[in-house]
Structure 1
Amino acid sequence: MKFKFDHYNFNVLDLERSLSFYREALGFEEVRRHNAEDGSFILVYLGDKETGFTLELTWLKDRKEAYNLGESEFHLAVKTDNFQDAHEHHKKMGCICYENEAMGIYFIMDPDGYWIEIVPNKK
């Protein structure tokens, strides 16, 4: 029996705001969408145009309060081929929430408080 990664989920309060953030911050684009027939939820899957892995953004119609993300000890990690330019871009966006210069990484935060680790490609 084999398993492979397919997708990861973040629940979001403002779907359009989140889509805009992921497009601007990471270049992620919508690859598919599922709208519930009764309008109660929307699932949007974002891709990086290079791997088959997707980030699922789930919007729930009746959800109004922010999600409890605990101590934010979980995160999504992405690699970049140009760490310096990525850092500068995220700095201008104002979304860097933590930097670890000793490890050579930093984190950005999306509109709902989810952390995304930015890692340089290793050569």
Structure 2
Amino acid sequence: MQFTFAHNNFNVRDLDRSLAFYQEALGLSEVRRISPDDGSFIIVYLSDGKSAHQLELTWLRDWDHAYNLGDNEFHLAFQVDDFAAAHHKHEQMGCICFENPAMGIYFISDPDGYWLEVIPSR
């Protein structure tokens, strides 16, 4: 028996804002959407177009407050081939929330406060 990663889920308050952020900040594109007839939720799967792993964004119609992320000690990590260009882009977007130059990494925060680590391709 072997398990492989399929996706990670983040619940989001404003789906359009989140989709725009993930497209601009990380180049992720929608590959699949689930929308029931009653409109109670929307699930959107995002892909980087290279790996099989996807990010699932879930919007719940009746959720009316910010998600409690606790200590927010979890994150997704993204490798990038041009670290300096990515850092500049995220600096311009104002979404860098933590940097660790000694480790050569930094984190960006999405519209709901989820942290995303950016690491150089090694």
TM-score over 0.5 for the pair: yes
Q: Answer with 35-44 or 105-114: which moved more.
A: 35-44
Map 1:12-23 onto structure 2 (within 5 A).
Answer: 12-23=12-23
Partner of 2:79: 79
Alignment of 1:50-89 (within 5 A): 50-89=50-89
Tell me the residue number matched to 2:30: 30
* CA displacement 1:6-28 (0-9 Å, x = unmatched): 00000000000000000000000
* d(CA) in 1 for partners of 2:109, 2:83: 17
Number of aligned residues: 122
Deviations 1:74-111 (A, max 9, x none): 00101000000000000000000000001000000000
Distance in 2 between residues matched to 1:37 and 1:53, nearest whole Å: 27
- The structure 1 segments of at least 4 consecutive aligned residues displaced by more than 3 Å after TM superposition are none
Taking structure 1 as the reference length, the TM-score comes to: 0.98
Partner of residue 104, structure 1: 104
Show the counterpart of 1:39.
39
Superposition deviation, residue 36 in structure 1: 1.7
RMSD: 0.4
Shift of 1:38: 1.3
Provide the TM-score with structure 2 as the length reference.
0.99
Deviation at 1:37, TM superposition (A): 2.2
1-side partners of 2:47 and 2:29: how far apart? 5
Unaligned ranges ≥5, structure 2: none
What amino acid is the match of 2:21? F
Rounded to whole Å, the distance in 2 between the matches of 1:45 and 1:37 is: 18
Alpha-carbon separation, structure 2, partners of 1:101 and 1:72: 21
Aligned-residue identity in percent: 62
User: Partner of 1:121 in structure 2?
Assistant: 121
